[in-house]
A and B are shown apart, each in its own frame.
Chain A
C-alpha cells in the first residue's frame, strides 16, 4: 500500500468535509437572511393555522398605546381612534395578512412560534387557550397620526428613522386602509382608495428627481479628480438632438428668438436659472441640474450605474422586520438619457425607505443601520423576552463622502432649496427633490425632501414624499420641518 494510493482517499475525504461544512453553513446563512421573510410569507399556512389555535399577542406603539389586540374569543381589534388606526395601518398590518405589516412579519412572536417547547406543551395540558407574545413597535402613534394628517388629502409617505439605532419612529403612508374594514374591502362593499393597501414608505417606487443628486455627487467624488474643489460652469440649458439623443451645442438647438427648434430637446434648470461658476457643494445647495447632468455625461453611464449599485439601487432588501423594496435604474443609452438620469429622471427609481437609509448613512458617518420596527417582545405577564438589537446594514459611503455630503446638505437647508426645512435650534441638513412624472405637465411633480438632524441628541433622518404635491422645497421641506418640530414637542 503506497502513500500515493491512499492520497486519493484522503483528498476525497477533504472534499466530503468541505461539502458538509458548506451544507451546514448555507443552512445557517439562508435562514439568517431569509428565514423571517419566508416565515411571514402569505403562503405559510402554518401561521393561519396557528391563528385559530392561539390568542395572538397585542401590538402597541413605543409609548404603550395599544394598536391591535385580541379579545378572549380571538377576534382582533384595532385602535379605536380613527386617526391612529389609519395612520398606523401599514405599520401594524391587517388580520388577514393582505398587507405586510407587523402582524405578518412579527407573527412568529404574536402567535408564539418563538415560545419554548416546554411552555407550548404546558398549554396542551391546560384548558386555557395559548397566548402569543405581546409586541411593542418602535413607531410613535402620536407622531404617525400627526404626519398622516399633514399628508392628507394627498397621497404620499413620511418615514423617520433613528440613524444611530435603525429604529423607525414614524412610518405612515396615505391613503391608508382601515384594518377593521378588511372584509368589506375584499367583498367590494367598501370602496378602497387607489393603492391604499401598499405601504408607500417601504414599497412605493418613485422617480427620485433631484434627491438622486446625492448619488450623482458620490459618483463625482469617486470618479472625478479633485471633485470637491473643482469649479463647474453652469451656463444655461444643455441641448440634445432629439432623434439620436446626442449632445449638441445650445446655439444649434435654439433659434434667434430663444425657442427650441424642431428635433431638439433641452435640459433646463428650475425656472431657467443660470448659476455660473459653481462648486459641487454649491451645485447641491441650489440643486443645479446643469452641473449634475454634466457630471453624469463626464463619468459615463457605467460608472454612474456602478455607484448607484454600490449604494443599493437595483439591489434587494432582506430585512428581518420589514418588507421593503429597493429602487432601480435602467442603463441610459444616449447622452440625453444619461444627462436626465444624473438628475434623477429618465428611468431612475427609488423608494422612500431607501432614500431614508441613504440619508441615515450620510448622517451616521457612512454606515446605514438596518431599519427596525420591533422595540420589544414580552410574554403575557409582561416579562421582556427580546429587545431591540441594532444591526449595521452596510457601509454605504466611503472615506470622506458622508462628511462632504452632510456639509453640502447643511448648505441646502441654510441657504439653498431646502430653506423651508430649517427648524430653530436644530441643525437640519437635507436635499429637496421635484420629480417630474408627466412630460405633458398634466400632473404636478412629486415633492421630495430627505434630510437629517446633525445633533447627537436628536439622531433622526426623515424622508417625505407627497405625490403630485409640487416643488420639493416649497411643499415637502416645510412638512419635514413641521414633523421635526412635532418630534421636539414630543420630547425626542
Chain B
C-alpha cells in the first residue's frame, strides 16, 4: 500500500500526450480543408496537461502523480471532444481549464493549513444556503432546471460549488463528532440543500448530495444502522418527490421505456442509446459519428458521444479511469492522520464516484437520467473548476499522507509497477 504513489506516472503521461496528439492530428485532417487550428489546440491541450503535472510536482513533493495524469487525460479527452463538436466552445473550455488549474492550486494552498479551511466552513455553509435560496428568485432556467445565476454577464452554476462547501462542512463536523444527535446541524444543512435543489428541479444534484452525505456519514461513523435509516429516509423522500412532482414522474416513465415516448421526453435517452449502439465495440471513429443528434451532447451526454466515436471498449476504459481515481483518492484519505483532511479527501472521492455513476448510469439507462455533468470531461466552467478543486483536495491529502508515512519510515520508496491502460 505504501508503494502505490509513484506508479510509473511518467509513462502514463507520455501515453496521454500521444493520445491527445493523435486525436487532434486526426481532427485536423477530418474536414475538407486541412485545419491548422486543431494543431494549435493540440499544443495548448498538451501544454495544459503538462503544466498541471508540473504544478503538482512542484507544489506537492509527495503527491499522487498517477491520479493527476489521469485527471489530465479526462480533461484532454474532454477538450478533444469539444473541439470535434465545436471549435469555439472548445476554446472556452480551454480557458475554463486554466481557471480550473488556478482553482486547484488555491485548494492545494488552503489544504496546507486545514485549520483555515475548518474555520471557513461556517461562512461557506451560510453562503451556500443563501445562494441556493436566492436562486429561487433570480435563477436562470436552463434545461428545465433553475440552477444558473448570472454575475456580471458570466453564468454560474452555484450548485457545483455548494458541493464543495458541503464536503467541507460535513468533514469538519464529522471529524469532531460522530453521533447523529451531535451532527444535527450539518444534517439539517444537508437536508436543506437537497430540498432547495429539488425545488429548483436540479434532481441530479439533490440525489448526489444525499448520496454523498450518506457515504460520508458511514465513512466517518461506521454506524450502519443509522446510515441505512438515512438511506431509507432518502428513499421515502425520493418516492414522495415521485408523487409530488410531475417532472420526476416523467423521468421515471422515460427511463422505463424511452421508445414509447420517443418523439417527446424519450428522445434524448433513445438517441443516446442509438449512438452507443451505433458505435459498437470499437466506435465509428473520431469525427465520423453524428453526436449532435443527441440533446446536451456537450455536457450531460458526452459519454454517449465518446462511446459513439471511440466505442464501448473506450467507454469502459473511462469508467475504469474514474474507478482508479476514486480508489486512489480513498487510499489518500486512509493514509492521512488528520481526520478532517482524511474526510475531505474521502468526500471528494465520493463526489467524483457518485457523480460519474449517476450520469453514466443515466446515459446507459441503468438508472433514471438526471442532468449532471460528467466529472472533468463535460463542457462547463463551473463544473470543471469545482472538480479541479476536488482534485486539489485529493492531491493535497495524498501529499500529506505520503509525507507522514515517509517521515515514519525515514526512507524513500522506489518506483515500481507499470502504468495503467488508458488510450
Contact = CB atoms under 8 A, between A and B. Distances in A.
A15 interface: yes
B218 interface: yes
A117 interface: yes
Interface in B263-294: 270-271, 273-278, 280, 282-286, 288-290, 293
B365 to A, nearest CB: 7
A8 B271 CA distance: 40
A439 interface: no
Contacts, number: 138
B293 A19 contact: no
A114 B280 contact: yes
A8 B347 CA distance: 12
Interface in A18-36: 19-20, 22-24, 26-28, 30-31, 34-36
A39 B312 CA distance: 14
Interface stretch (A42-50, A307-315, A443-451, A481-489): A42-50
The interface residues of chain B, by DSSP majority, are classed as helix
A490 interface: no
A63 interface: no
A244 interface: no
Interface string A1-28: 1001111111111011101101110111
B222 A108 contact: no
B274 A12 contact: no
A46 B290 contact: yes
A38 interface: yes
Contact of B330 (A5, A7, A16, A30): A16
A124 interface: yes
B280 A113 contact: yes
Contacts of A394: none
A24 B320 CA distance: 8
B111 interface: no
A43 B274 contact: yes
Contacts of B30: 124
B342 interface: yes
A5 B343 CA distance: 11
B319 A24 contact: yes
Interface string B312-325: 10011001101100
B116 to A, nearest CB: 22
Contacts of B274: 38-39, 41, 43-44, 46
B364 interface: yes
Given A9-B334, A23-B364, A41-B274, A117 B316 contact: no
Contacts of A46: 274-275, 278, 289-290, 293
B327 interface: yes
B327 A16 contact: yes
Interface in A52-89: none
B364 A26 contact: yes
Interface size class of A (residues with CB under 8 A): 35 or more
A120 interface: yes
The CB with the most chain B CB atoms within 10 A, among A5, A11, A116, A124, is that of A5
A44 B277 CA distance: 10
B240 to A, nearest CB: 25
Nearest to B343: A9
A32 B353 CA distance: 25
Nearest to B218: A8
Contacts of A49: 290
A120 B218 contact: no
A121 interface: yes
B285 A117 contact: yes
A362 to B, nearest CB: 34
A236 B285 CA distance: 70
Given A9-B333, A12-B346, A36 B319 contact: no
Contacts of B323: 16-17, 20
A11 B334 CA distance: 12
A12 B320 contact: no
A18 to B, nearest CB: 10
Contacts of B11: none
A130 B354 CA distance: 43
Contacts of A44: 274, 277-278
B405 interface: no
Interface in B210-245: 215, 218-222
A342 to B, nearest CB: 33
Contacts of A35: 276-277, 280
Contacts of A37: 277
A22 B312 CA distance: 15
A43 B277 CA distance: 13
B219 A8 contact: yes
Given A9-B346, A28-B316, A43 B262 contact: yes
Given A12-B215, A20-B357, A27-B364, A120 B222 contact: no
22 contacts: A1-B337, A1-B339, A6-B334, A8-B222, A12-B219, A16-B323, A16-B330, A20-B326, A20-B356, A20-B357, A27-B316, A31-B312, A38-B274, A38-B277, A39-B274, A43-B270, A46-B278, A46-B290, A47-B278, A113-B280, A117-B284, A124-B30
